Amino acid sequence: MTVEVSVIATSSLGDRSYLASDGRVAIVVDPQRDIDRVLHLAGAKGVRITHVVETHIHNDYVSGGLELARITGAHYLVAAADEVGFDRMPVADGHTVPVSDALRLRVVGTPGHTFHHLSYVLDEAGDGGWTPVGVFTGGSLLFGTTGRTDLLGQQHAHELAHHQHASARKLADLLPDGAQVWPTHGFGSFCSASQADAPESTIGREKEANPVLRLAADRFVTETLAGLDAYPAYYAHMGVANAAGPAPVDLTPVARADGDELRRRIAAGEWVVDLRHRKAYASSHLAGTVSLGLDGPMSTWLGWLIDWGVPITLLAETPDQVADAQRELVRIGIDRPAAQATGEPEQWATDRAELRELTVADFDALAAAQAGSTPAGLPAPQVVLDVRMTNEWKAGHVDGAVHVPLPDLPGRLADVPAGTVWVHCGSGYRATAAASLLANAGRDVVLIDDMFGRAEAAGVRMAPTA
C-alpha cells in the first residue's frame, strides 16, 4: 500500500487529526490550532501538504486549517454549504478531488453531527484502478458510536439524529468491509455521543459493533438522544470562531506575576489556576486558586467553568508546564493568559498565611463515617457532594449524596447544604477542582481523592438503583 495515514492525537480534548501521504504529498484532516505539530510531522516524513480538509465546522476546538493552508499554500476544503468568512475550496457530496497520481479524495455528504458535515473517502491508485483505503468520518461514524446531534441546539437534535443514522448507513453501503474508519471524535471529546470502544476500526467491524448500523432509525434516535449529557459551555464560541476564520496563535511566554500581583488578581475575582498535580495542590497551595492539573483535561474543564473572557493566570512548577497549558488553551480559543508564575507555592505567597492545605480522605474513610466512626483527624461529613456528570450519577451514587455537576458548581455554590462537605467525582480530578472552589467560598471541605469504582467495595452505602 502506497498511502500512509498518521494519527495526530489531542488526547486532552479527545480528538484525532490525520496526515495522509503517498510519500511525496500529503492531506491533513481536521487539524488542531497548534499547527506546528503538523508541520513538524510533514517535515519529518519529507512530504508537502497540498490539501487541508475539514469534515465540519468544529464545535469543540478552534481549527488550525485556515492557517495551515495559508502557510503551506494548500487547497483548503470546506463544505460549500457552510457560510464562512474566508476563501476556501468549496466541496459537496459527490465531488472527487485529485491529490496526486496515487491518491484522491471522494467527498461524501454525511449530515448528522452538523447539517453540512462531510466525510472523505481516501482512494489509492493501483493496477486495477482506484481502491478505497478508508474514510475520514469526522463526527459521523465513530468507533462504536456516532457524533452527538444536539450541538446546534435541542430543536435540531432529533432531525440530525435521523440524518446521522442515514449517513452511517450510507458509508457502510458505499465502502467495503476492509476500509479503515478514521474519525475525529470519540476519544474523550464531548462531541461524541459516547466514547470509542476500540483504538482503530474498519467498516466491517462497525457493522458488527456500532449501534447506528445495528438498530432501526427510530430506536437509534431514541437511544442516542436519551444518552446525551451536557457539553462544555465554551462550545458556544468555537463554531463562531471557525466560521469567521481563526487568527494565528501566539505561544510565546506571557508576563510573569509576583506575589503581590497574584494577590491582586485573586482579589479581583480573576481565575488563578494551579496546574500542578492534585496531590501537590492538596499539600500546599495559594489561597484563592483553583486546581486543574495538567495531568487531566485541564482546558476542557477550565473553558467550561469560567465566564468567557475572564483573565486567567497560570501557576506551575516549570515554564514548560505553563507552555503546555498555553498550547492546550489556544485550542479552545483562550489565546493569551494574563500572567504566569512558576516554582512552589511559597514563592507565590507574600506571606505564609496565604498558603492553604486540603484535607484528603478516601472511600474507606467515607464508609467508616457512614458507619458512625469517622477516622481520627477527619471532620465528620455533614454533606457528601458528587460533582460527576448526570449520566454518571444516574448509573449509581452514594446514598444521601447531593449532586451538583462540576460545570454547574460556580453558579450553584449556595445550593450546597451547610456543614462540612466531603466531595468526590470519578477519580479525584474534578473533586479537587470542586474542593478548591468550595474552599475559596469559605466552606469546610474534605477531598475524597479516590476512584468511584472502589466505593461500594470499600463499604460505602450506595443509593438503590432504579
C-alpha cell of 128?
486495477
Instruction: Output the CA–CA distances (angstroms, integers) from residue 405 to 188, 195, 270, 431, in the order listed.
Output: 17, 19, 22, 10
Cα–Cα dist 33/16, whole Å: 12
Cα–Cα dist 424/388, whole Å: 8
CB 324 within 8 A of CB 318: no
Report the 3 state secondary structure along 82-145: CCCCCCCEEECCCCEEECCCCEEEEEEECCCCCCCCEEEEEEEEECCEEEEEEEEEECCECCCC
Identify the CA nearest to 241 among candidates 21, 62, 32.
Answer: 62
What are residue 438's DSSP bridge partners? none
- Cα 241 from chain centroid? 17
Stated pTM of the model: 0.94
Contacts of 264 (CB under 8 A, 6+ apart): none
Contacts of 344 (CB under 8 A, 6+ apart): 284, 317
Cα–Cα dist 161/113, whole Å: 8
Q: Which domains does the chain have, with CATH numbers?
A: 4-244 (3.60.15.10), 259-356 (3.40.250.10), 360-454 (3.40.250.10)
Cα–Cα dist 73/70, whole Å: 5
Cα–Cα dist 190/230, whole Å: 8
Please tell me what DSSP assigns to residue 450.
S
Per-residue pLDDT of the chain (466 residues), as tens digits, is 589 999 999 999 999 999 999 999 999 999 999 999 999 999 999 999 999 999 999 999 999 999 999 999 999 999 999 999 999 999 999 999 999 999 999 999 999 999 999 999 999 999 889 999 999 999 999 999 999 999 999 999 999 999 999 999 999 999 999 999 999 999 988 988 888 888 999 999 999 999 999 999 999 999 999 999 999 999 999 999 999 999 999 999 999 999 999 999 999 999 999 999 999 999 999 999 999 999 999 999 999 999 999 999 999 999 999 999 999 999 999 999 999 999 999 999 999 999 999 999 999 999 999 999 999 999 999 999 999 999 999 999 999 999 999 999 999 999 999 999 999 999 999 999 999 999 999 999 999 999 999 999 999 999 998 6
C-alpha cell of 292?
486543574
